Amino acid sequence: MGNLPEQFWQASLAELKQGFCHDRTSDTFLCLLCGHRIADGVIYRHGDQLYEAKKYMAIHIAESHGSPFHSLLQLDKKLIGLTEHQKSLLELFYAGHSDSDVAQALQAGSTSTIRNHRFSLREKQKQAKIFLAIMELLAEQPPKKPSFIDLPPSHQPPDRRFAITEQENAKILATYFQAGADGPLDHFPQKEKKRVAIIRQLATHFAPQQTYTEKEVNDILKPLYHDYVLLRRYLIEYGFLDRTADGSAYWRKS
């Protein structure tokens, strides 16, 4: 398989399983396996049948890549962490073969040996799920030091990790606010520099010199992203909102 589209690494698990995603910015369906795009809202002919764009992309996946399962399985070992033997096992399991059939096909010992391989792969699945949760929690952890993104250059310290140009900021917002800068937020980035740009944009939903209750803050953030508590925490941590010690009042910092 050739180079994967950039969107492959931003895709959800559900999108990886189907092999494509919907790009709201261009209103197209994008094949995550080869980068092929088709416009949404168009009817496509395949043989004697007419198909809507989403179904037609599924046909493209089947004809060009076989299936998302086999395409993902053929990725480089450094990407999926599977040996060739494990790949062969998974292909046979996916085809519905019994443990005894797999043992005979691979000449890999007894049925109990294959059963142990199944168990090991399930354990790997559990470990992967926990690792993903750990990495997502790590990505959500706010910095211990405040961002200096809004300070003028003369007042900023030498570390300018969070400095963002207007061009960079516009690109980040277009990527994560695909329905427009006013939201909603499609997904929350893992890179801190991008998170700062997102949080700064979210802060514009709060009027300067106005005080909000926690419920009012939540009501503003809920339509913007499902994890509104995370957004509220980051607005505080990055210094865009402040609050009283008991959390009874919030306000936008100038």
User: Per-residue pLDDT tens for 120-160?
Assistant: 999 999 998 898 888 878 766 665 554 444 444 444 443 35
Question: Consecutive 10-residue runs of the chain (254 residues): their mean pLDDT?
Answer: 75 90 86 92 93 95 91 88 90 92 87 91 91 80 52 42 76 86 81 86 90 92 88 88 87 83
pTM of the model: 0.54
Which tokens is 229 given? 């508590």
Residue 93 has a pLDDT of 93
| Best CA proximity match to 175, nearest among 194, 156, 161 | 194
Which residue ranges make up each domain of the chain? 1-76, 82-141, 153-252
Computed over every residue of the chain, the mean pLDDT equals: 84
| The pLDDT of residue 187 | 82
Contact present, 207 and 185 (Cβ < 8 Å) = no
What does the pLDDT read at residue 29? 94
Question: What is the reported pLDDT for 141?
Answer: 67
Query: How far apart, in Å, are the Cα atoms of 241 and each of 12, 98, 140, 202, 204?
Result: 30, 59, 18, 10, 10
Alpha-carbon distance of 105 to 91, in angstroms, equals 12
**Omega of the bond leading into 223 within 30 degrees of 0 (cis):** no
How far apart (Å, rounded) are the C-alpha atoms in residues 130 and 127? Answer: 5
